Amino acid sequence: DAGVIQSPRHEVTEMGQEVTLRCKPISGHDYLFWYRQTMMRGLELLIYFNNNVPIDDSGMPEDRFSAKMPNASFSTLKIQPSEPRDSAVYFCASRSLGQGSGELFFGEGSRLTVL
């Protein structure tokens, strides 16, 4: 398995534009997480899914952020409209509590810069 795959790796956009980040979890993992990493706040949980169903979205900053998981192998995080303060690295991660150690596996991240 290639691990958790995220795209794009880098995104530079202008304020007000829509941004869509994509994630393919490890096959067989039933939990998917979106985290945001900033220098000031470290890693913050935005939302997580279990079997494609959103379980906790209390970390989503505001209505400009939305996330979907239409099937077990794909999830998106959308920001509309984007703002400069959204600039961060967004990580997707997945895990399976029924297999192995239940370790959380991270993607390489999507670095977003909003000008």
Contacts within 8 Å (CB) and 24+ apart, 50-55: none
Q: Is 57 near another protein (CB under 8 A)?
A: no
Q: Are 15 and 67 in contact (CB under 8 A)?
A: no
Q: Are 74 and 22 in contact (CB under 8 A)?
A: yes
Q: Is 35 near another protein (CB under 8 A)?
A: yes
Question: Residue 13 or residue 106: which is nearer to another protein going by CB?
Answer: 106
Which 58-87 positions form the footprint of another protein (CB under 8 A)?
Answer: none
Q: Which of 12, 15, 104, 115 binds another protein (CB under 8 A)?
A: 104
d(CA 109, CA 10): 9
Give the H/E segment covering residue 11. Answer: strand 10-13
Amino acid sitting at position 64: R
Q: Is 55 near another protein (CB under 8 A)?
A: yes
Q: Please state the closest distance from residue 48 (CB atom) to another protein, in A.
A: 5
Interface residues toward another protein, by CB under 8 A: 3, 31, 33, 35, 40-45, 48, 50, 55-56, 91, 93, 95, 97, 101, 103-104, 106-109
